[in-house]
Structures are given as structure tokens and as C-alpha cells.
Amino acid sequence: MADVLLEIEDLEARIGAGPRAVRAVDGVSLRIRRGETYALLGESGCGKSMTALSIMRLLPAPAGRITGGRVLLDGIDLLGLSEARMRAVRGGRIGMIFQEPMTSLNPVLTVGEQIAESVRIHRGLRGGALRGRVLELLDAVGIPDARRRAGEYPHQLSGGMKQRVMIAIALAGEPELLIADEPTTALDVTIQAEVLELLRRLRAETGMALLLITHDLGVVAQTADRVGVMYAGQLVEEAARAPFFADPRHPYSRKLFDSVPTMAKRARPLAVIPGSVPELTATFSGCRFAERCARAWDACRERVPQWHRVADGHGVRCHLYDAALVAGAPGAAVSADAAADADTAAAAPAPEAGGHGPGGADLLRVRDLAVHFPVRSGLFARTRAKVYAVDGVSLAVGVGRTVALVGESGCGKTTVAKAILQLIRPTAGSVRFDGVELTALRGRALRARRRDFQIVFQDPYASMNPRMRVGEIVEEGMAALGLVADRAARRRRVAELLAQVGLSEPALSRYPHEFSGGQRQRICIARALAVDPRLIVCDEPTSALDVSVQAQILNLLKGLQDRLGLSYLFITHNLSVVSYLADEIAVMYLGRIVEHGPVSAVLAAPRHPYTEALLAAVPTLEAGAHRPVIRLEGDPPSPVDPPPGCHFQPRCPRAMPVCRERYPVGTVVGAGHEVRCHLYPGA
């Protein structure tokens, strides 16, 4: 196997010492060939990042350490190298980029200096040659105007630019292997598409191998040659991309696929993986996934599964593929998974096909909503400029319906949510809830209305007071609004609510930190439900969660809507969630809605060029179905100083002279489908 570049054998890494040590990586073996893209796929806490850091010997000291195994780069064991020789490997033969480009660059050094540093060490260039090489690298990663950018500091660059700079730093040593640890997770989907495209291109140009660490099946489908699936510190499946996407073998891999929300799955609940990842402090006597596996039987709990080759280059760690054991398995061995999905059906009752009925009157009507934040400067701190965070948004949510508000970070969608809830007072416009103008209400009158509309936040870790018990958290709203005066009755109601979101009564007297992310989000939903709201604004409720947990929450939200007739305003950047859950979609760009209409219409035939680009950027699971990415020029403009005419015009591939002159008016292009673009001149 001369073409093997990196070989990992039985790698073990631990965080901490003694009996409480976490076995973050527990016997991982894999091989990466030259020029190949190997995707390490897994949910949070599965040990994929720790594997990458172990290769670089960069585990967080002194808690983390490698306790066993070998890491061979071209036959040289990296774990045996002296620190000085290892430094030549880091940044030289192996480059690495990280998830958070915002914090991964040194804020007080210019971009050029940070790249030059790496070039100097590994290529030994000085003076003019060094400067030339830095500019070359900036060019190579697609940063325009490299000479100027080299003298800028990281904070002057956008997130996508920063990640490009990170890549340039990693490329400086002309590595044979580039490790990319969730390189696009913190980026918007259009930026993600560009960065992935860049990585693909660089790999083709330089012939380096790429170890891509990700949790996103779509990214894997678009980028990888080979895939390794990690679960609880171990590799559970490994295959080339095509066979893996065609026929994933491990029950965990299958569940991952099934839990991805799509338009096609609208009619039924998503598959979920019950329970949560086991604690890695324990020693396992059986399969690590057995507790959560629908197909587990006695053998899975008693014997540690071995690695089985199921096809050429396709291996699985599962008893289902052990000929000696599979006889004891319930049901047929490899084919059936319909039966296995029985548990998902129980999670929520199946709604009637075709989504929800047309719904009655509009519960919420927002007209020309605007929120401007003043920017003060000058001698007397006068308002010199404004941040046009929300600048004329109109939308309506019908009873029992779900409207998705979609847009990239900074487009103002969260501000819309807070302005609707009157957490931020709008600068202008009207918010009518059930016929009542909310912007006119003050004090007690507004407080009395608050029970009708509630919010679920994005970050389940920040949305609950860590010093309060779950019971107190859930009942806070009831007490504040004086809904249930009697303490005992309130307690009963809280227990009821927790049961409704799938938590048991003992949770009442526990603290938020004792729950996982998904469970916390359930508690937040219970808190919102406590006051019997009619509308719930969900602000990215699943974007901090793993895909299998996301499925649980989506099922729960859908089930609650069917039972209670709730309306949702669902704010998200995730179009697959939209396609699964929403009835209508509104696409936001820089404080305004550029297109809205029924989900089926907009997603199938987007009209606005921005919507088109957004949809094209979403990586799809259909491997090979490689849609061309619509490249958007530059970065999203600042809401302080929106471009003249159509806000999207500087980046629009189809911009016309008129676009620079005035903002387009809305044009109806279908039933309830409206778009604001000069391509569709009004009727």
C-alpha cells in the first residue's frame, strides 16, 4: 500500500486522569491515501476532533494525552517523534484548520504576518520572496486584492474570509495532508459552499490529502471520497462515498440518514435515535450503540462487536454482520429496516398528508415592521447613522400554520422575532396579533397579552437560568402572568407539561446543567407552552443540536401543533428543516423579505436570485448530483450602509442597471408567491 499517506492504528486518547478520565478516542484505526478526501463523520462528543488533534499531538495539555496506538505518516510514527521534529510536521507536512475562524486567528497580528510566519518556518523564505509567497497564497485561497488584505487585521475580514486565511496559513507549508475540523460549521450556507469548493479545488491542484471532520451528511456527500462514521470514541463504519450513501450498513448510520428532514418526509415523523450518547468514562462490555439501537439483541449487550468487512473497502462494527451471531438477531439480518423504525412512529402521531389545512384567519399580521438602531458618534454623541436591522418586513401567520423566516446571519431575522414579541420596541410598522395592535400596548395591557405569544431560543444552554430548578423555570411564566394562582395546581401543571414534551416528573427538581442539549430544548418548549400560547416564535431552535436530536425536537413541535393548533414563526437558516416543517417560507436579505410564498412553490421554483443561490448552496445528500454552486460576489453588505437600489445587487449574478437605482417592488408570481426583484416587473 505505497499510496497510503497516513495510517492510524488503535489510537487511544484520554482527557483527564484516574477513574473519571474520558476515553475520548478509544481504538480508532484508519488509513488515508495520498490525494484522497477522507471524511470523519459523527455527532458532537464522538471523538472526531480529538482524533484530529491527536494526529497533530495538540490535545489540550495537560488534561488530554494519547494513551496508545500509532500514527504513521509515510511510515514514520508521529507519536514517537521528538517535540522539535514534530514541529516540522505541524504546519509542514500536515496543515490544520479549525471550526471557529473568528477566534482562531491572532487578533493583534496582520493577516500577512500570520501567513508569513508559517512560510518562514517551513519554506525558509525571507524578504521579497516571502512577501511574494504570502500574496500568492492569498490569491490561491481566493482573497481578492491580496496586497491590501495582507496588511489588514482579522477583525476587518468577514467569517468566510477568515476561514480562507486559515486555509492559506495551513497551505503555507505545502502540506501533504490537510486536516479540516468542521471548517464550515460556523459559516453561512452560501459561504460554506464557497469554502468547500475552494478545498476541492486546492486538493485537485496540490494533490494533498484532506481529512475532513464534520457532522453534516450533506458536506460529506459533496466532498468526500471515503467516509468513516464515529460513535462514542470508535469508528463504527467505513466505506467509499458512493456505497455508503447508497447503502449505509450500521444501524447508527442509517438512523443518521433517516433523521435528516426533507420535503419527502413531511407526511411522517422523522426517525429519531432515542436516549443519548453514553458517558465515555465507562468501560463497555457490549456494543456502545446497543442502548439506543432498535435492532439490538442480547449479543449486542454482552459482546463487544468486531470489525466486519461487508464489501471491498466497506467495514462495519456491528453484530448484524457477524455470521456467527446474526442468527440470534430479531428479524432478517441486513434488509429490513421498516420494522426498526417502528419506534419513530410512536414518537408522534402522523399528521395528515399534505401538511396542515389552509387555516383560518391570520393570527399574526406584521406590516412594514422596522427596527433601526442608532449609531452614535461625534462630539455630542448624536445619532449619525443607523443600523437598518429590520427595514420594512411584512408577513402573516395563520392559525395552526408554520411560517419559516429564512436568511443568513446578520440579515435581521432574530430582530424581527424580538420586535414581534415586543422585546425590542419596533421603530415603525404594525404588529397585529389577533386584531390587537401590539406596538400600541404598554405595561399591564401588554403583559396581559404576553401569554398568547411565546419564544423558544437557539441556545439551549443560555436560555435557562442555571441557578433555578426546572420546575421553577417552567412555572415562572404561569406565576408572572397570574394564570394558576394555586401553588400545588401549578406544580401539577408543570409535571403535565414536562410529560407532554417527553420528560418525567423527577426532572422537576433538577437543575438545567443535568440535562443534555435536546432535553434542555424540550424544557424550553415546555416553558413556552406553560402559558397556553397560540403562537410560538422558534428562533433557530435546532441549530445548536445534533441531527438526531434535531429530529426529536422537530417531531415534538409538529406533534404539538397537531394537538394544540399552535402557530409557529420558525426562524432558521436551515432549508432542510424548512422543507420538512413549514407551510410558508419568507426569505430575508439585509432587513427585508425578498421572496415569500408556499414552501412547495418557493423551494421547487425559486424566483429571486438570492433564493436560488441559497438553495444551490445547500449540500444535498444525493451524492454525485452535483448542482453548480451559484457564486455570490463578496460578502453580505453592512446594514449600516445598505447598497443603493436593490440590496442584493452588488452580489447578484443577474444584476441589471435598474437594480442599482431603486429597490424593487413586490410582484406576485404565483398563488401567494411574491418576489421583490426587477427580473419580474410588476403586472
The answer to whether 434 contacts other proteins (rule: CB under 8 A) is no
In 3D, which of 398, 406, 239, 204 has the Cα closest to residue 317?
Answer: 239
Q: What mask of x and - would describe binding to other proteins in positions 378 to 417, judged by CB under 8 A?
A: xxxx------------------------------------
Of 234-242, 302-310, 375-383, 540-548, the segment contacting other proteins by CB under 8 A is 375-383
Q: Please provide residue 347's backbone torsions phi and psi, each rounded to the nearest 5 degrees.
A: -65, -35
Q: Which three cell numbers stand for residue 121?
A: 518556518
The answer to whether 442 contacts other proteins (rule: CB under 8 A) is no
Q: Which three cell numbers stand for residue 66?
A: 494519547
Q: How far is the CB of 527 from other proteins (least distance, A)?
A: 7
Pick 446 or 621: Cβ nearer other proteins: 446
The answer to whether 446 contacts other proteins (rule: CB under 8 A) is yes
Q: Please provide residue 272's backbone torsions phi and psi, each rounded to the nearest 5 degrees.
A: -125, 160
Q: In what order do the strands lie in the sheet with 76-77?
A: 22-33, 4-15, 64-73, 76-77
Bond prior to 107 in cis (omega within 30° of 0) = no
Residue 624 CB contacts under 8 Å (≥ 6 apart), including other chains: 242
- Rounded to an integer, what distance in angstroms lies between the CA atom of residue 581 and that of residue 267? 10
The answer to whether 450 contacts other proteins (rule: CB under 8 A) is yes
Q: How far is the CB of 511 from other proteins (least distance, A)?
A: 5
Query: Residue 90 carries which DSSP code?
Result: B
Query: Residue 333 carries which DSSP code?
Result: S
The answer to whether 511 contacts other proteins (rule: CB under 8 A) is yes
Which of 28, 56, 73, 186 contacts other proteins by CB under 8 A?
56
**Are 237 and 317 spatial neighbours (Cβ–Cβ below 8 Å)?**
yes
Q: How far is the CB of 471 from other proteins (least distance, A)?
A: 14
The answer to whether 466 contacts other proteins (rule: CB under 8 A) is yes
**Residues 31-56 as b or e (16 or more Cβ within 10 Å = b):** bbbebbbbbbbbbebbbbbbbbbbbb
Q: How far is the CB of 446 from other proteins (least distance, A)?
A: 7
Pick 380 or 504: Cβ nearer other proteins: 380
The answer to whether 377 contacts other proteins (rule: CB under 8 A) is yes
Pick 70 or 450: Cβ nearer other proteins: 450
The answer to whether 109 contacts other proteins (rule: CB under 8 A) is yes
Residue 123 CB contacts under 8 Å (≥ 6 apart), including other chains: 133, 172, 173, 174
- Cα-Cα-Cα-Cα dihedral sign, residues 203, 204, 209, 215: positive
Which of 42, 45, 69, 91 contacts other proteins by CB under 8 A?
91
Which of 42, 47, 64, 95 contacts other proteins by CB under 8 A?
95
**Are 214 and 40 spatial neighbours (Cβ–Cβ below 8 Å)?**
yes
Of 131-139, 263-271, 330-338, 448-456, the segment contacting other proteins by CB under 8 A is 448-456
Give the footprint of other proteins on residues 591-650 (CB under 8 A): none
**Are 25 and 54 spatial neighbours (Cβ–Cβ below 8 Å)?**
yes
Of 36-44, 337-345, 464-472, 603-611, the segment contacting other proteins by CB under 8 A is 464-472
Which of 2, 19, 20, 61 contacts other proteins by CB under 8 A?
61
Residue 373, beta-bridge partner list: 387
The crossing angle, in degrees rounded to 10, of helices 470-480 and 487-500 is 120
Pick 85 or 201: Cβ nearer other proteins: 85
Instruction: Give the interface with other proteins as residue ranges (CB under 8 A).
Output: 56, 58, 61-63, 84, 87-92, 95-96, 98, 100, 103-109, 117-118, 121-122, 153, 155, 166, 169-170, 172-173, 376-381, 418, 421, 423, 446-448, 450, 453-455, 457-459, 462-468, 473, 476-477, 480-481, 511, 513, 524, 527, 531
